[in-house]
């Protein structure tokens, strides 16, 4: 005998075919079937009512379950389809509602009691689905143009249409009248700008920023001759080896009335003088591989230029006299960048030619520098950034100290990346530490980039004379006892960044131990709240790392290492058992292939106050170290930059719902 399974409800409600009967059994069977049918109709009415109530209470999944049951019991009735579609409508899923209404209209006959309602509800869903509210057109014009659209930061490309400009006339007007104008990119043009780029040409009067790359014989003046770019303020172009000077300079002349910011990158070499004479209204110029030699009369100055960046300047144009010839033409400079680094003798006389200079980038940078605001009419450099220049020269210590001394009343942040040479230097100029020689505005210094070549005496002198320092970055080798003693005297130091580079066996940790023991002794009075250690491999033999555990006010610790091996576990466990104020912990760099020893992450699992945890990119994180993060008692946010198996990610998301898990 074969068992019958998966019997459909609808089959049970059909009148059975009786081929033989005993006595009055046929009538009894018919009565029983009728009772079942009536009961089924009563059941679906109750299910329909319950589905309505559930949907009203936003219990949509339960409501859809009841609606599905109605369709299963009475597939030939429109009620189940109607109920399902209505729930979808309440959710705002009008497309799904229309689809289920269509299924019902196909499945049930026109004579069905719910057929007409299916038609009506379907039309209502279609009307709602087609309804669009144009909030952009309804909002006040000035609100849209000054607050909403600028926040969108729309970027337009000349080879493709920008949808919002073609929604309606009202939308187009609002986008065209935003105060920042249009920002276009004409892409990489390899043939001609005389044709094509129709969208750019059409809206040319509204374009304020334009970027593009020219290859071969492409002429910039072809584009600007086609129409009037009357409001173009910011132009960024990239030229290749074949780009000719004249078409570019002629193109610049065509937009010179409005152009205030110009960037020229690439491989073509322009005369700085030619660019400046073509664009008399420039306030910012960033140019690559230009000849800075100024052969025009000395009286030719450019007082409108406040920001100048000269990148990849030729060696023959970077002498002391060449630089004086350039700087003497820009008396209003607020920021100046030059690469490679020219003769450092310029540093001590910069203020004579550029008295309002506030930001200086001196040499290449392989890192992101700090940013600072500038203010016209304010004198003295606020931010000085000395880039990494291992192949292009160095800075004489005397020139550096004279520069620092001449800007002692204005310097706020200094980045040191270049190598230094002692040279012939008389300390008599700066060994007086009276208040008038102090760096009262200086809050941040960074000596972490590259190998330490600056004398620790100079480092200690600078720190000793900057009583308001809050943020210090040092290569570990700089932290001699004299530097540590200067750091100990700081009353506002809250952030310390240590670059652990190569050390000889003769190099000891005396200075770092001295510094940490002072802050340990300060107890709750310590100002030190953040420590970052950057290294290739975290060294277990580093004697001062376990001392971090005794810092009572440390809130943030970053161990940026490519490798944290198992031999570091004792130090990690010591830190985890101490540092009661620690809230934010980072293990490993965000990018790269890192190695984490088993137990490194889990060693912090019992820390009661840890709220933010970042795990850097790693290929060797053990699954058990990942899973154990569900037990961290106080975590509020978790950043994972390593590969995490899907099953473990699901466990983390399931058990730690309060944590934002970001897999990069």
154 and 286: one domain? yes
CATH of residue 212: 3.80.10
- Give Dmax (Cα) for the chain: 130
Q: Does residue 327 form part of some domain?
A: no
- Residue 586's DSSP bridge partners are 558, 614
CATH of residue 75: 1.25.40.10
Cα gap 60→249, rounded to integer Å: 66
Among 227, 261, 291, the domain boundary falls at: 291
Residues contacting 38, CB < 8 A, separation 6+: none
> Per-residue pLDDT for 623 more than 70?
yes
Higher pLDDT, 432 or 578: 578
144 and 124: one domain? no
Strands (E), 366-464: 383-386, 395-396, 413-416, 420-421, 444-447
Q: Does residue 253 form part of some domain?
A: yes
150 and 215: one domain? yes
Q: In which band, very low, low, confident or very high, does the pLDDT at 644 lie, cut at 50, 70 and 90?
A: confident
32 and 90: one domain? yes
Q: How does DSSP assign 516-571, residue by residue?
A: HHHHHHHGGG----EEEEEEEE--TT-TTGGGGGG-TT--EEEEEEEEE-GGGHHH
**C-alpha separations of 175 from 149, 156, 194, 211 in Å:** 7, 11, 26, 19
Q: CA 110, 116, 122 angle in degrees (round to 5)?
A: 115
189 and 53: one domain? no
Higher pLDDT, 627 or 585: 585
> Per-residue pLDDT for 426 more than 60?
no
The four Cα atoms 545, 476, 370, 442 give a dihedral, to 10 degrees, of 100
- What pLDDT does 22 receive? 54
Higher pLDDT, 133 or 474: 474
Instruction: Provide the residue range defining the domain that includes 60.
Output: 9-130
Q: Does residue 658 form part of some domain?
A: no
pLDDT tens for each residue of 573-594 = 999 999 999 999 998 887 666 6
> Per-residue pLDDT for 660 more than 90?
no
Q: In which band, very low, low, confident or very high, does the pLDDT at 538 lie, cut at 50, 70 and 90?
A: confident
Q: Which two structure tokens, joined as six digits, stand for 163?
A: 């949808």
- What pLDDT does 427 receive? 54
226 and 176: one domain? yes
110 and 184: one domain? no
> Per-residue pLDDT for 157 more than 60?
yes
150 and 274: one domain? yes
Q: Which two structure tokens, joined as six digits, stand for 404?
A: 């620092």
Taking all residues of the chain, what is their mean pLDDT, rounded to a whole number? 85
Q: In which band, very low, low, confident or very high, does the pLDDT at 635 lie, cut at 50, 70 and 90?
A: confident
Cα gap 380→410, rounded to integer Å: 5
Cα gap 187→201, rounded to integer Å: 14
Instruction: Determine how many CB atoms are found less than 10 A away from the CB of residue 509.
Output: 17
Q: Does residue 305 form part of some domain?
A: no
125 and 169: one domain? no
Q: What mean pLDDT comes out for the span 224-249?
A: 95
> Per-residue pLDDT for 299 more than 70?
no
Q: Does residue 318 form part of some domain?
A: no
Lowest-confidence region among 52-66, 146-160, 346-360: 146-160
- What pLDDT does 418 receive? 73
Q: Is residue 251 classed as helix, strand or coil in its secondary structure? A: helix
Among 74, 108, 130, the domain boundary falls at: 130
Q: Which two structure tokens, joined as six digits, stand for 257?
A: 């009335």
- What pLDDT does 3 receive? 47
Q: In which band, very low, low, confident or very high, does the pLDDT at 98 lie, cut at 50, 70 and 90?
A: very high
Instruction: Determine how many CB atoms are found less than 10 A away from the CB of residue 375.
Output: 9
Q: Is residue 13 classed as helix, strand or coil in its secondary structure? A: coil
Higher pLDDT, 408 or 452: 408
Cβ–Cβ < 8 Å for 606, 576? yes
116 and 183: one domain? no
Residues contacting 209, CB < 8 A, separation 6+: 180, 181, 182, 183, 184, 232, 233, 234, 235, 236
**C-alpha separations of 401 from 345, 347, 407, 422, 556 in Å:** 11, 9, 10, 11, 33
Q: Does residue 399 form part of some domain?
A: no
SS3 content of the chain, % helix, strand, coil (to 5): 40, 15, 45
Cβ–Cβ < 8 Å for 646, 632? no
146 and 271: one domain? yes
Among 291, 323, 350, the domain boundary falls at: 291
Strands 637-640 and 395-396, by their bridges, are unpaired
pLDDT tens for each residue of 63-95 = 999 999 999 888 889 999 999 999 998 888 888
- Residue 337's DSSP bridge partners are 309, 361
Q: Which two structure tokens, joined as six digits, stand for 185?
A: 């990119």
Q: How many domains does the chain have?
A: 2
Q: Does residue 183 form part of some domain?
A: yes
- What pLDDT does 634 receive? 86
Cα gap 603→570, rounded to integer Å: 9
pLDDT tens for each residue of 243-279 = 999 999 999 999 999 999 999 999 888 889 999 999 9
In 413-474, where does DSSP find H-type helix? Answer: 456-464
- CA proximity to 184, closest of 200, 206, 169: 200
- What pLDDT does 455 receive? 77
pTM of the model: 0.74
Q: Does residue 624 form part of some domain?
A: no
86 and 229: one domain? no
Cα gap 646→533, rounded to integer Å: 31
- What pLDDT does 435 receive? 39
């Amino acid at each position: 005998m074969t068992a019958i399974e998966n019997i459909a409800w609808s089959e049970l409600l059909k009148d059975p075919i009786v081929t033989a009967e005993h006595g009055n059994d046929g009538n009894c069977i018919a009565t029983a079937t009728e009772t079942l049918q009536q009961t089924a109709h009563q059941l679906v009415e109750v299910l329909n009512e319950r589905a309505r109530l559930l949907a009203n209470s936003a219990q949509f999944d339960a409501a859809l379950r009841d609606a599905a049951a109605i369709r299963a019991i009475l597939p030939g009735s429109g009620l189940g389809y109607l109920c399902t579609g209505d729930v979808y409508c309440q959710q705002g899923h009008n497309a799904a509602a229309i689809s289920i209404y269509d299924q019902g209209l196909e499945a049930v006959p026109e004579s069905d009691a719910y057929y007409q309602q299916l038609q009506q509800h379907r039309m209502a869903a279609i009307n709602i689905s087609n309804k669009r509210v144009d909030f952009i057109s309804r909002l006040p014009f000035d609100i849209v143009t000054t607050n909403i659209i600028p926040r969108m930061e729309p970027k337009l490309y000349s080879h493709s249409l920008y949808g919002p400009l073609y929604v309606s006339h009202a939308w187009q007007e609002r986008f065209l009248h935003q105060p920042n104008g249009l920002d276009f990119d004409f892409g990489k043009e390899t043939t001609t700008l005389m044709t094509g780029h129709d969208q750019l040409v059409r809206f040319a009067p509204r374009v304020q920023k334009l970027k593009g790359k020219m290859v071969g014989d492409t002429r910039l003046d072809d584009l600007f001759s086609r129409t009037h770019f009357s409001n173009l303020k910011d132009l960024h172009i990239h030229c290749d080896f074949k780009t000719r000077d004249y078409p570019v300079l002629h193109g610049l002349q065509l937009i010179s009335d409005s152009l205030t910011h110009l960037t020229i990158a690439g491989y073509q070499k322009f005369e700085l003088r030619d660019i400046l004479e073509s664009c008399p209204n420039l306030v910012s110029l960033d140019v690559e591989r230009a000849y800075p030699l100024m052969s025009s009369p000395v009286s030719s100055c450019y007082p409108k230029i406040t920001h100048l960046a000269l990148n990849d300047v030729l060696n023959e144009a970077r002498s002391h006299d060449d630089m004086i010839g350039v700087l003497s033409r820009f008396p209003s400079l607020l920021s100046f960048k030059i690469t490679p680094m020219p003769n450092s003798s310029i540093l001590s006389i910069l203020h004579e030619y550029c008295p309002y200079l506030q930001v200086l980038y001196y040499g290449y940078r392989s890192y992101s520098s700090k940013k600072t605001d500038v203010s016209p009419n304010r004198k003295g450099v606020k931010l000085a950034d000395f880039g990494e220049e291992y192949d292009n020269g160095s800075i004489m210590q005397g020139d550096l100290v004279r520069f620092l001394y001449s800007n002692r009343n204005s310097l706020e942040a200094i980045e040191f990346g270049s190598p230094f040479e002692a040279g012939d230097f008389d300390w008599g100029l700066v060994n007086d530490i009276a208040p008038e020689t102090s760096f009262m505005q200086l809050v941040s210094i960074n000596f972490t980039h590259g190998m330490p070549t600056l004398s620790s005496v100079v480092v200690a002198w600078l720190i000793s004379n900057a009583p308001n320092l809050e943020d210090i970055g040092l290569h570990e080798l700089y932290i001699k006892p004299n530097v540590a003693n200067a750091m100990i005297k700081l009353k506002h130091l809250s952030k310390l960044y240590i670059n652990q580079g190569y050390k000889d066996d003769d190099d000891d940790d005396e200075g770092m131990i001295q510094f940490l023991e002072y802050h340990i002794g300060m107890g709750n009075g310590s100002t030190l709240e953040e420590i970052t250690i950057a290294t290739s491999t975290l060294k277990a033999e580093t004697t001062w790392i376990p001392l971090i555990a005794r810092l009572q006010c440390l809130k943030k610790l970053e161990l940026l290492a490519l490798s944290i091996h198992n031999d570091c576990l004792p130090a990690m466990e010591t830190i985890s058992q101490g540092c009661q104020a620690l809230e934010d912990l980072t293990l490993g760099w965000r990018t790269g292939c890192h190695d984490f020893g088993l137990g490194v992450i889990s060693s912090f699992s019992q820390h009661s106050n840890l709220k933010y945890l970042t795990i850097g990119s790693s290929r060797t994180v053990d699954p058990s170290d990942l899973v154990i993060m569900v037990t961290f008692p106080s975590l509020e946010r978790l950043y994972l930059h390593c590969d995490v198996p899907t099953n473990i990610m699901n466990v983390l998301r399931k058990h730690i719902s309060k944590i934002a898990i970001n897999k990069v």
